[in-house]
Amino acid sequence: MIHLIYASETGNAQSIAEDAEVHFKNQGHRVRLIDMEDLQLKDFETMDILLAAVSTWGDGDPPCSAEDFFSELQSSDEPLSHVRFAVYALGDTAYDSFCQFGKDLDAELARHGARQLLPVLENDVDFEENFDSWLEDLDAFMDAPQPDSVIESRPPSVVA
């Protein structure tokens, strides 16, 4: 099952997550969509594939809906080596802390031993521009015969 989580102040990251949900359901995958506000670390016990669409708020902070979960994740040493993940980060290059929460979430999941499927994809205000290629890269993983395969993809990119 694919777990799609999102954290959004304005609804953009939620929209990306909902579009990804439709895409993967149309591909025949079971998908669970979760607002980070409703997420707890114990939920990771049953996760295999985690896809996150997250925005950055203020000066590099997580959206309000993600603060409690992210704080719980940061203060935990729970191993997540069974989780494979990818992060679709939304931000605005006008800020010094561009896509910072997406980068922080990516780093924190890796610190817990989760395995990155794709490099964090950093997106500027035209955040939908990279979405189809992100889905294509993830589709390649979903179609791969080896359960532990990890996509070697292009480096993180910025949509300007």
Shortest CA distance to 55 belongs to which of 110, 3, 102?
A: 102
Assess whether pLDDT exceeds 70 at residue 56: yes
Across 34-53, average pLDDT? 95
pLDDT of residue 143: 77
Across 55-59, average pLDDT? 89
Compute the half-sphere exposure of residue 78: CA atoms within 13 Å on the CB side of its CA.
Answer: 15
- When divided into structural domains, the chain yields a total of 1
Q: What is the pLDDT of residues 90-143, one digit of tens each?
A: 999 998 999 999 999 999 999 999 999 999 999 998 888 889 999 999 999 887
Across 137-157, average pLDDT? 61
Average pLDDT along the chain: 89
| Domain carrying residue 131 | 2-159
CATH number for 32: 3.40.50.360
Over pLDDT 90: what percentage of the chain? 78
How far is residue 3's CA from residue 25's CA, in Å, rounded to a whole number? 12
Phi-psi region of 125 (alpha: psi -120 to 50; beta: other; left: phi over 0): alpha
Is the whole model's pTM more than 0.85, yes or no? yes
How far is residue 66's CA from residue 13's CA, in Å, rounded to a whole number? 12
pLDDT of residue 84: 97
Report yes or no: 135 and 114 within 8 Å, Cβ to Cβ. Answer: no
